[in-house]
Chain A
Amino acid sequence: MKSCSEHTGTAFVFLKYSITIYSYSMGLFGKIFGKKEKESLEKGMEKTRTGFLSKITKAIAGKSTVDEEVLDELETALIAADVGLDTTIHIINQVEKRVKEDKYVSTSELNTLLKDEIAQLLVDHSKADEPASIPKPYVILVVGVNGVGKTTTIGKLAYQFKQAGKSVMLGAADTFRAAAVDQLTIWSERAGVPIIKQPMGSDPAAVAFDAAKSAVAKDIDVLLIDTAGRLQNKQHLMDELSKIKRSITKVIPGAPHEVMLVLDGSTGQNALEQARQFTAATDVSALVITKLDGTAKGGVVLAIAHQFQIPVKYIGVGEKIDELLSFDKKAFVDTLFE
């Protein structure tokens, strides 16, 4: 056995070389690709960021109705809901613009206006639900970091599809976390749907492959595939996810038809990184926000919608099998300001 410090030492040396090689490579490529475009972008963003409070103050100067206090409150509400600074600034800028155009805005009008602006940020998802375009089996791959509620969400989804008269199958491709397969098996029993599984430690891509084959053979309507939780910065695990996805496509071209990223509603700004990295690995097509029955508001969804244009499809509001709701923009916006 090697000592821990020795191991770390070698890792550190390796890292030093990597960084050197990397920076040389980048130095070279900085020259080849040029950096002008990037710079102007950075500058532009910087400008928006600086002094947005003073901008608002100026915008409503002389107006007795929407005053600084109102907008301050607004800013606070958005930040407190985890909307994040950039998107908060964007929203406030939009509101400011409208206030300018309309000249006179009362506080209640501001409310409507604001909800409008926020609703516009959220991407619509209704088109994807049109029944004519639904292939069979319709494959949904469920991904996310650890502990967000992927398995629970799949149990609830299975139940919902079953209630809607669809034939449903589950694929237990989380072969890593202790007892994850058992957990999904219990959900499959609760929902009354079949499950394809292999022992713990099996290759998750192989499980997904089997599940897809079986769903085709049994003429299943909806196949839901569970995956192990993984933090987005673990590159090898993200690669594994891409592999799982490819193994599904191998059986059913065009599948998975939906890649659902499950986000914990109480997560802060890190959810943006989650959306970024999971999308890079698997082309996330929809979001599920869980645990919205607590005090967290899930406002980071706005930032995600703003940056990545991924629609929210469902929200989880409890541990019971029927506590998964279709996402309702209006209701969501309302709760942000409760």
Chain B
Amino acid sequence: MFNNLTDKLESAFKNIKGEGRINELNIANTLKDIRRALIDADVNYKIAKEFTDKVKEKAVGEKVLNAISPGQLMVKIVKDELASLMGGTQAAFSISGKPAIILIAGLQGSGKTTLSGKLAYFLKNKKGKNPLLVAADVYRPAAINQLHVLGEQVGVDVYSESDNKDVVLIAQNAIAEAKKLNKNVVIIDTAGRLAIDEEMMTEVAHIKEAVNPSEILFVVDSMTGQDAVNTAKAFNDRLDFTGVVLTKLDGDTRGGAALSIKYTVEKPIKFVSNGEKMEMLDEFYPERMAQRILGMGDITSLVEKAQENYDEEQAKKLEKKIRRNQFDFQDFLEQLQQIKKMGNLKDIMGMIPGMGKAIKDVDIKDDAFKGIEAIIKSMTPFERANPDIITQSRRQRLARGSGKDISEINALMKQFDQMRQMMKNMNKMPIPKMPGFKR
């Protein structure tokens, strides 16, 4: 799960505070931890090794200041190095040519057809283009239908030939059609293929020769493991692709494959895609990706997750109540329900930078809210709306009603008061501090 590298490195470096400089000896364990984090994130093991060697070079000799923790310094070096490796020279997405041809290729199930639909949406709505989608996957059952459905969703025409199995011919016919229809971009969706399938790899190479694409995008599942390197290399050897698209980059995907691929074929990552909605295609941010790989949390994906699961009306109502210091037990209860909808809570907390260590010390159970809920549910509606009237005798009753100890009721009351205060003061802060946790 989320092993927060920063926390790990902090402890590894405790001993060398005051040693003056980072040297080969005091860095050895740290490098091992970094390598481990990278491998956990599915970075290829060879690349993880080379990468840590590089980091060592950069770090050795760095001054250890007592004011800044060496762990944090180290994490910064690692993160920056990762980001610069994955970013590097940003090549623009080329949609030149009349029409511009974009060829989509990759393994089975990597998400080529969905990506084709998203790309068509992107080009049409963000770049003002008039694209044509081409169904050149004649093997997988219903692949052509799938593209037609997506084309309809995004309002882009789809070219297909139901009886033709010659994909090179289909691609050529599609381009002729595109010219006729005044389309300025042609997106060719191809069948998924294994890198070692000689016949299929030859086929896609033939398509490339025949249509001379301005962009060849290699589509890869972000969850791919160690094999990402082999696959990327094989596709690149045959197609000399122009860019990479990372798909399914949602939630807990660490995405080490991004580093492996960039490192191996030295081609830019042009897009990242997550979710099944057609507008969910994004540019690649090396910095974010570096944080993700290191398991350092990613506030952006956290916000995205909240967005998916919250009720906007309710959230606004809540904000108003909190501002007026009217947050009550009923709101608390409702809020707990909402939080539960957001999924595995420990993962959510793990996404917050610096939280990894804190949550490690707390035994988080999936039904951790049950006790609180039981207590609140033992309250009358009047008590829920007026927390201040819950006197000692009422607490006694609540204890009996919820099967809890009176001390637990008292603790909840106290926590509730603090929480209320905390939330009221919170709007000034960019990210809430976490009371109850050591930092």
Contact = CB atoms under 8 A, between A and B. Distances in A.
A70 interface: no
B49 to A, nearest CB: 10
B107 A266 contact: yes
B318 A147 contact: no
Contact of B227 (A50, A185, A296): A296
Contact of A291 (B108, B256, B435): B108
Contacts of A155: 141
Contacts of A294: 107, 194-196, 227, 231
Nearest to B3: A49
B145 interface: yes
Given A25-B368, A146-B109, A268 B226 contact: yes
Contacts of A42: 360
Contact of B45 (A10, A80, A273): A80
B20 to A, nearest CB: 25
B312 interface: yes
A21 B332 contact: yes
Interface stretch (B35-43, B78-86, B159-167): B35-43
B303 A8 contact: yes
Interface stretch (B55-63, B387-395, B411-419): B411-419
B361 A183 contact: no
Nearest to B230: A295
Interface in A1-59: 7-8, 10-35, 37-39, 42, 49-50
Contacts of A299: 225
Contact of B338 (A18, A25, A30, A232): A18
A186 B141 CA distance: 6
A234 B306 contact: no
In the complex, which of the residues A81, A85, A178, A273 has the most CB atoms of chain B within 10 Å of its own CB atom? Answer: A178
Contacts of A116: none
A26 B254 contact: no
B139 interface: yes
Contact of B223 (A12, A30, A234, A267): A267
B419 A21 contact: yes
A155 to B, nearest CB: 8
A85 B42 CA distance: 10
Given A235-B341, A266-B225, A26 B40 contact: no
A8 B363 CA distance: 31
Interface in B351-369: 352, 359-365, 368-369
B45 A38 contact: no
Given A29-B368, A291-B109, A179 B149 contact: yes
A147 B224 CA distance: 12
Interface stretch (B124-132, B205-213, B244-252, B282-290): B244-252
Interface stretch (B69-77, B171-179, B342-350): B342-350
A202 interface: no
Contact of A10 (B230, B276, B315, B412): B315
A80 B342 contact: no
Contacts of A277: 344
Nearest to A271: B223
Interface in B406-425: 408, 411-412, 415-416, 418-419, 422-423
A76 interface: yes
Nearest to A183: B142
Interface string A190-228: 100000000010000000000000000000000000000
Given A27-B437, A30-B362, A294-B231, 5 more contacts: A20-B426, A30-B436, A32-B408, A297-B227, A300-B225
Interface of A: 7-8, 10-35, 37-39, 42, 49-50, 76, 79-82, 84-85, 145-149, 155, 176-180, 182-183, 185-187, 190, 200, 231-236, 238, 264, 266-271, 273, 277, 291, 293-297, 299-300, 319
29 contacts: A10-B312, A10-B319, A13-B427, A15-B303, A17-B322, A18-B339, A24-B436, A27-B362, A32-B371, A42-B360, A80-B226, A81-B226, A84-B40, A85-B40, A146-B109, A147-B109, A177-B276, A231-B253, A233-B252, A235-B341, A235-B344, A267-B221, A268-B42, A268-B228, A268-B257, A270-B253, A294-B231, A295-B196, A297-B227
Interface of B: 29, 36, 39-42, 45, 107-111, 113, 117, 139-143, 145-150, 153, 194-196, 221, 223-228, 230-231, 248, 250-254, 256-257, 276, 302-303, 305-310, 312, 315-316, 318-319, 322, 332, 335-336, 338-339, 341-345, 347-349, 352, 359-365, 368-369, 371-372, 408, 411-412, 415-416, 418-419, 422-423, 426-427, 429, 431-432, 434-437
